[in-house]
């Protein structure tokens, strides 16, 4: 039996995913880099490698794998969120926003997407878009309010009356 059989490949990818779930990204990366290509599951391998590199704070490298995964499955929300995370941390806010806006078109009721968009718009100094996205996120998932006081991405919004109202609401609901 060849080491490239679909069953063996699936098992290796499941093992890598397990290491990621156990917060052991170095082990996952070791498995994912053990072969140059993953013939039967290229999306899964690219996404998991991107996630492992993201967990290791190797954002630029992670984006290479995540861009491959996004090309294979452009509608995948997890890929878009991971890309946004990495784009933000490589000072590519426009691309972070683009990734999450693409995701929001596919999953408009996903509060996490809107919350992250609010963060990215805030960092880009677009208060109106940031507040619009934050309002949507909080409508969809009110418990996100508890994250607002400690979210440094919102520092550019502090002092804005609409934001301060959201912040007061967040503090009152603690």
pLDDT of residue 36: 82
**Overall domain count for the chain:** 2
CATH code of residue 15 = 1.25.40.10
108-129 mean pLDDT: 97
pLDDT of residue 107: 95
Say whether pLDDT at 91 is over 60. Answer: yes
Query: Is 14 among the domain residues?
Result: yes
Say whether pLDDT at 1 is over 50. Answer: no
Mean pLDDT, all residues of the chain: 92
- Higher-confidence residue of 166 and 60: namely 60
Query: Is 2 among the domain residues?
Result: yes
pLDDT of residue 64: 97
pLDDT of residue 71: 96
pTM of the full structure = 0.85
Which of 39, 66, 91 terminates a domain? The answer is 91
Query: Is 97 among the domain residues?
Result: no
Taking only the tens place, the pLDDT of each residue in 34-73 is: 988 888 899 999 999 999 999 999 999 999 999 999 999 9
**Alpha-carbon span 109 to 151, nearest angstrom:** 22
pLDDT of residue 102: 93
Q: How is 9-38 classified by DSSP, letter by letter? A: HHHHHHHHHHHHHTT-HHHHHHHHTSSS--
Q: Give yes or no for a contact between 16 and 28, defined as CB atoms under 8 angstroms apart.
A: yes
Which of 91, 124, 142 terminates a domain? The answer is 91
Query: Is 102 among the domain residues?
Result: no
> b/e string for 125-146 if b means 16 or more Cβ within 10 A?
ebbebbbbbbebbbebeeebbe
Query: Is 101 among the domain residues?
Result: no
Domain with 152, as residue range(s), is: 108-173
139-151 mean pLDDT: 92
Q: Are residues 4 and 83 located together in one domain of the fold? A: yes
Say whether pLDDT at 166 is over 90. Answer: no
Say whether pLDDT at 162 is over 60. Answer: yes
Say whether pLDDT at 151 is over 80. Answer: yes
Q: Are residues 10 and 67 located together in one domain of the fold? A: yes
**Alpha-carbon span 27 to 170, nearest angstrom:** 39
Query: Is 1 among the domain residues?
Result: yes
Q: Are residues 53 and 112 located together in one domain of the fold? A: no
End-to-end CA distance of the chain: 58
pLDDT of residue 4: 61
The confidence band for 172, taking pLDDT boundaries of 50, 70 and 90, is low
């Amino acid at each position: 039996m060849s080491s490239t059989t679909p069953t063996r490949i699936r098992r290796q990818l499941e093992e890598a995913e397990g290491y990621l779930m156990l917060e052991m990204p170095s082990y996952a990366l070791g498995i994912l880099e053990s072969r140059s290509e993953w013939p039967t599951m290229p999306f899964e391998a690219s996404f998991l490698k991107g996630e492992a590199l993201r967990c290791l704070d190797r954002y630029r490298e992670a984006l290479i794998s995540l861009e491959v995964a996004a090309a294979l499955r452009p509608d995948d929300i997890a890929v878009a969120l991971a890309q946004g995370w990495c784009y933000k941390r490589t000072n590519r806010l426009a691309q972070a926003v683009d990734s999450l806006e693409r995701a929001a078109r596919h999953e408009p009721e996903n509060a996490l997407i809107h919350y992250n968009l609010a963060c990215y718009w805030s960092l880009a100094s677009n208060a109106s878009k940031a507040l619009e996205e934050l309002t949507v996120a909080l409508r969809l998932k009110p418990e996100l309010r508890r994250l607002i006081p400690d979210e440094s991405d919102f520092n550019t919004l502090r002092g804005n009356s609409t934001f301060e109202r959201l912040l007061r609401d967040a503090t009152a609901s603690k």
